[in-house]
A and B are shown apart, each in its own frame.
Chain A
Amino acid sequence: QVQLQESGPGLAKPSQTLSLTCSVSGGSISSVIYFWSWIRQPAGKGLEWIGRINTSGSTNYNPSLKGRVSMSVDTSRNQFSLNLKTVTAADTAVYYCARYMERRGFDFWGQGTLVTVSS
Protein backbone atom coordinates (compact mmCIF):
# COMPACT_ATOMS: atom_id res chain seq x y z
CA GLN A 1 0.00 0.00 0.00
CA VAL A 2 1.38 3.35 -1.05
CA GLN A 3 1.77 5.87 1.76
CA LEU A 4 2.66 9.55 1.62
CA GLN A 5 3.91 11.70 4.46
CA GLU A 6 4.44 15.44 4.46
CA SER A 7 7.24 17.04 6.44
CA GLY A 8 8.59 20.51 6.95
CA PRO A 9 8.38 23.57 9.18
CA GLY A 10 4.97 24.33 10.61
CA LEU A 11 5.73 28.03 10.68
CA ALA A 12 6.93 30.37 7.96
CA LYS A 13 7.56 34.10 8.16
CA PRO A 14 5.88 36.52 5.75
CA SER A 15 7.89 37.15 2.56
CA GLN A 16 9.96 34.01 3.10
CA THR A 17 9.82 30.65 1.28
CA LEU A 18 7.66 27.79 2.46
CA SER A 19 9.33 24.43 1.83
CA LEU A 20 7.72 21.02 2.27
CA THR A 21 8.75 17.49 1.40
CA CYS A 22 6.58 14.47 0.75
CA SER A 23 8.06 11.03 1.38
CA VAL A 24 6.56 8.14 -0.56
CA SER A 25 6.68 4.59 0.75
CA GLY A 26 5.22 1.31 -0.44
CA GLY A 27 5.90 2.10 -4.08
CA SER A 28 8.37 3.77 -6.40
CA ILE A 29 8.06 7.43 -7.23
CA SER A 30 9.79 6.78 -10.54
CA SER A 31 6.90 5.59 -12.68
CA VAL A 32 6.03 8.23 -15.25
CA ILE A 33 2.34 7.32 -15.17
CA TYR A 34 1.98 9.21 -11.91
CA PHE A 35 2.01 12.89 -11.16
CA TRP A 36 3.04 13.88 -7.66
CA SER A 37 0.91 16.72 -6.43
CA TRP A 38 0.41 19.33 -3.75
CA ILE A 39 -3.00 20.48 -2.58
CA ARG A 40 -3.87 22.82 0.26
CA GLN A 41 -6.86 23.82 2.35
CA PRO A 42 -7.00 27.11 4.23
CA ALA A 43 -9.06 26.98 7.39
CA GLY A 44 -12.76 27.12 6.61
CA LYS A 45 -12.21 26.94 2.86
CA GLY A 46 -12.13 24.30 0.16
CA LEU A 47 -9.36 22.31 -1.45
CA GLU A 48 -6.99 24.20 -3.72
CA TRP A 49 -4.69 22.46 -6.18
CA ILE A 50 -1.17 23.88 -6.07
CA GLY A 51 0.56 21.88 -8.77
CA ARG A 52 2.07 18.60 -9.87
CA ILE A 53 5.28 17.06 -11.13
CA ASN A 54 6.32 13.74 -12.59
CA THR A 55 9.69 12.10 -12.81
CA SER A 56 10.13 13.18 -16.41
CA GLY A 57 10.32 16.70 -15.03
CA SER A 58 6.96 17.74 -16.42
CA THR A 59 5.23 20.26 -14.18
CA ASN A 60 1.93 22.11 -14.04
CA TYR A 61 1.20 24.82 -11.51
CA ASN A 62 -1.92 26.67 -10.46
CA PRO A 63 -1.90 29.94 -12.45
CA SER A 64 -3.30 31.78 -9.43
CA LEU A 65 -0.01 31.30 -7.61
CA LYS A 66 1.61 33.61 -10.12
CA GLY A 67 5.02 32.06 -10.45
CA ARG A 68 5.64 31.69 -6.71
CA VAL A 69 5.61 27.90 -6.77
CA SER A 70 8.16 25.33 -7.83
CA MET A 71 8.38 21.58 -7.34
CA SER A 72 11.11 18.99 -7.59
CA VAL A 73 11.49 15.23 -7.39
CA ASP A 74 14.27 13.21 -5.76
CA THR A 75 13.96 9.67 -7.05
CA SER A 76 16.92 8.46 -4.97
CA ARG A 77 15.02 9.34 -1.81
CA ASN A 78 11.54 8.61 -3.16
CA GLN A 79 10.53 12.14 -2.26
CA PHE A 80 9.14 15.23 -3.92
CA SER A 81 9.13 18.78 -2.68
CA LEU A 82 7.25 22.06 -2.79
CA ASN A 83 8.69 25.56 -2.59
CA LEU A 84 6.33 28.51 -2.31
CA LYS A 85 8.02 31.90 -2.37
CA THR A 86 7.07 35.22 -0.83
CA VAL A 87 4.41 33.79 1.45
CA THR A 88 1.72 35.81 3.16
CA ALA A 89 -0.91 35.02 5.77
CA ALA A 90 -3.15 33.90 2.90
CA ASP A 91 -0.83 30.92 2.40
CA THR A 92 -1.64 29.58 5.87
CA ALA A 93 -3.26 26.21 5.24
CA VAL A 94 -3.11 22.48 5.68
CA TYR A 95 -0.88 21.22 2.89
CA TYR A 96 -1.44 17.76 1.43
CA CYS A 97 0.70 15.77 -0.93
CA ALA A 98 -1.05 13.27 -3.18
CA ARG A 99 -0.47 10.89 -6.05
CA TYR A 100 -2.33 11.62 -9.26
CA MET A 101 -2.98 9.21 -12.08
CA GLU A 102 -4.78 10.09 -15.28
CA ARG A 103 -8.45 9.11 -15.11
CA ARG A 104 -8.04 7.79 -11.55
CA GLY A 105 -7.60 11.17 -9.92
CA PHE A 106 -5.78 11.61 -6.62
CA ASP A 107 -5.73 8.06 -5.31
CA PHE A 108 -3.33 8.34 -2.39
CA TRP A 109 -2.96 11.28 0.00
CA GLY A 110 -0.76 12.26 2.90
CA GLN A 111 -2.36 13.13 6.22
CA GLY A 112 -1.64 16.81 5.73
CA THR A 113 0.55 19.28 7.56
CA LEU A 114 -0.47 22.67 8.89
CA VAL A 115 1.72 25.56 7.85
CA THR A 116 1.12 28.90 9.49
CA VAL A 117 2.53 32.09 8.01
CA SER A 118 3.17 34.55 10.80
CA SER A 119 5.91 36.80 12.06
Chain B
Amino acid sequence: QSALTQPPSVSAAPGQKVTISCSGSNSNIGNNYVSWYQHVPGKAPRVLIYDNNKRSSGVPDRFSASRSRTSATLDITGLQTGDEADYYCGTWDSSLRGWMFGGGTRLTVL
Protein backbone atom coordinates (compact mmCIF):
# COMPACT_ATOMS: atom_id res chain seq x y z
CA GLN B 1 0.00 0.00 0.00
CA SER B 2 1.44 3.30 -1.14
CA ALA B 3 1.99 6.20 1.26
CA LEU B 4 0.59 8.43 -1.49
CA THR B 5 -3.15 7.91 -1.69
CA GLN B 6 -5.04 8.31 -4.93
CA PRO B 7 -8.61 7.34 -5.79
CA PRO B 8 -8.61 4.04 -7.70
CA SER B 9 -10.77 5.40 -10.46
CA VAL B 10 -12.48 8.50 -11.80
CA SER B 11 -14.77 8.95 -14.75
CA ALA B 12 -16.50 11.70 -16.67
CA ALA B 13 -18.00 12.41 -20.05
CA PRO B 14 -16.08 13.90 -22.96
CA GLY B 15 -15.65 17.62 -22.61
CA GLN B 16 -16.04 17.58 -18.86
CA LYS B 17 -13.46 18.00 -16.09
CA VAL B 18 -11.95 15.57 -13.60
CA THR B 19 -9.75 16.08 -10.60
CA ILE B 20 -7.38 13.42 -9.33
CA SER B 21 -6.13 13.81 -5.80
CA CYS B 22 -2.91 12.61 -4.23
CA SER B 23 -2.62 12.68 -0.46
CA GLY B 24 0.66 12.29 1.36
CA SER B 25 2.53 13.63 4.35
CA ASN B 26 5.16 16.12 5.41
CA SER B 27 7.96 13.71 4.58
CA ASN B 28 6.93 13.45 0.94
CA ILE B 29 4.51 15.90 -0.70
CA GLY B 30 4.90 18.44 2.09
CA ASN B 31 8.59 18.97 1.40
CA ASN B 32 9.38 17.66 -2.06
CA TYR B 33 8.43 18.29 -5.65
CA VAL B 34 5.51 16.38 -7.10
CA SER B 35 5.25 15.06 -10.62
CA TRP B 36 2.36 13.41 -12.44
CA TYR B 37 2.53 10.59 -14.98
CA GLN B 38 0.15 9.30 -17.61
CA HIS B 39 0.38 5.60 -18.35
CA VAL B 40 -1.49 4.04 -21.22
CA PRO B 41 -1.30 0.23 -20.74
CA GLY B 42 1.27 -1.28 -23.05
CA LYS B 43 3.14 1.98 -23.47
CA ALA B 44 5.85 3.72 -21.50
CA PRO B 45 4.63 6.15 -18.83
CA ARG B 46 4.91 9.82 -19.72
CA VAL B 47 5.57 12.73 -17.40
CA LEU B 48 2.75 15.28 -17.65
CA ILE B 49 3.58 17.62 -14.80
CA TYR B 50 6.83 18.24 -12.93
CA ASP B 51 7.94 20.65 -10.24
CA ASN B 52 4.40 20.54 -8.74
CA ASN B 53 2.67 22.44 -11.52
CA LYS B 54 4.79 22.77 -14.67
CA ARG B 55 3.63 21.08 -17.84
CA SER B 56 6.11 18.96 -19.73
CA SER B 57 6.83 19.81 -23.34
CA GLY B 58 3.94 18.95 -25.60
CA VAL B 59 1.38 18.52 -22.81
CA PRO B 60 -1.78 20.49 -23.58
CA ASP B 61 -2.93 23.17 -21.18
CA ARG B 62 -6.01 21.05 -20.44
CA PHE B 63 -3.74 19.40 -17.88
CA SER B 64 -2.89 21.38 -14.77
CA ALA B 65 -1.77 20.56 -11.27
CA SER B 66 -1.23 22.10 -7.89
CA ARG B 67 0.20 21.26 -4.48
CA SER B 68 -1.05 22.39 -1.11
CA ARG B 69 0.63 21.31 2.13
CA THR B 70 0.57 17.52 2.00
CA SER B 71 -1.73 17.02 -0.97
CA ALA B 72 -1.56 17.47 -4.71
CA THR B 73 -4.18 17.50 -7.42
CA LEU B 74 -4.23 16.96 -11.16
CA ASP B 75 -7.00 18.59 -13.15
CA ILE B 76 -7.93 17.56 -16.65
CA THR B 77 -10.43 19.72 -18.50
CA GLY B 78 -12.10 19.22 -21.87
CA LEU B 79 -11.81 15.45 -21.51
CA GLN B 80 -11.09 13.45 -24.62
CA THR B 81 -11.32 9.72 -25.18
CA GLY B 82 -7.56 9.73 -25.74
CA ASP B 83 -7.09 10.79 -22.12
CA GLU B 84 -8.15 7.35 -20.91
CA ALA B 85 -5.16 6.04 -19.00
CA ASP B 86 -3.77 5.43 -15.55
CA TYR B 87 -2.47 8.51 -13.77
CA TYR B 88 0.17 8.45 -11.05
CA CYS B 89 1.49 11.08 -8.72
CA GLY B 90 5.04 10.72 -7.48
CA THR B 91 7.50 12.39 -5.19
CA TRP B 92 10.56 11.82 -3.04
CA ASP B 93 10.11 10.73 0.56
CA SER B 94 12.73 12.26 2.80
CA SER B 95 12.16 9.80 5.63
CA LEU B 96 12.39 6.68 3.47
CA ARG B 97 15.07 8.25 1.27
CA GLY B 98 13.29 6.86 -1.73
CA TRP B 99 10.90 7.78 -4.47
CA MET B 100 7.26 6.80 -4.23
CA PHE B 101 4.38 6.63 -6.62
CA GLY B 102 0.76 6.88 -5.69
CA GLY B 103 -1.35 3.80 -6.22
CA GLY B 104 -2.61 5.13 -9.53
CA THR B 105 -5.99 6.34 -10.76
CA ARG B 106 -7.74 4.82 -13.77
CA LEU B 107 -9.48 7.53 -15.81
CA THR B 108 -12.45 6.45 -17.87
CA VAL B 109 -13.96 8.86 -20.36
CA LEU B 110 -17.54 7.73 -20.69
Contacts and interface: CB of A to CB of B under 8 A. Distances in A.
Interface string A63-92: 100000000000000000000000000000
A111 B56 contact: no
A51 B96 CA distance: 12
Contacts of A60: 97-99
Q: Which of B33, B96, B101, B103 has the most CB of A within 10 A?
A: B101
Contacts of A37: 99
Interface residues of B, number: 25
Contacts of B96: 63
Nearest to B46: A109
Contacts of A109: 44-46
B68 interface: no
B51 A104 contact: yes
B50 A107 contact: yes
Given A46-B103, A47-B104, A105-B35, A61 B98 contact: yes
B45 A96 contact: yes
Contacts, number: 66
B33 A49 contact: no
B30 interface: no
Interface residues of A, number: 25
Contacts of A98: 45
Given A46-B2, A46-B88, A110-B44, A103 B50 contact: yes
Nearest to A104: B50
Interface string A20-44: 0000000000000000010100000
Given A46-B2, A47-B45, A107 B56 contact: yes
Interface in B40-75: 43-47, 50-51, 56
Interface string A47-60: 11101100000001
B24 interface: no
B100 A106 contact: no
7 contacts: A37-B99, A39-B45, A49-B98, A61-B98, A102-B33, A103-B51, A104-B50
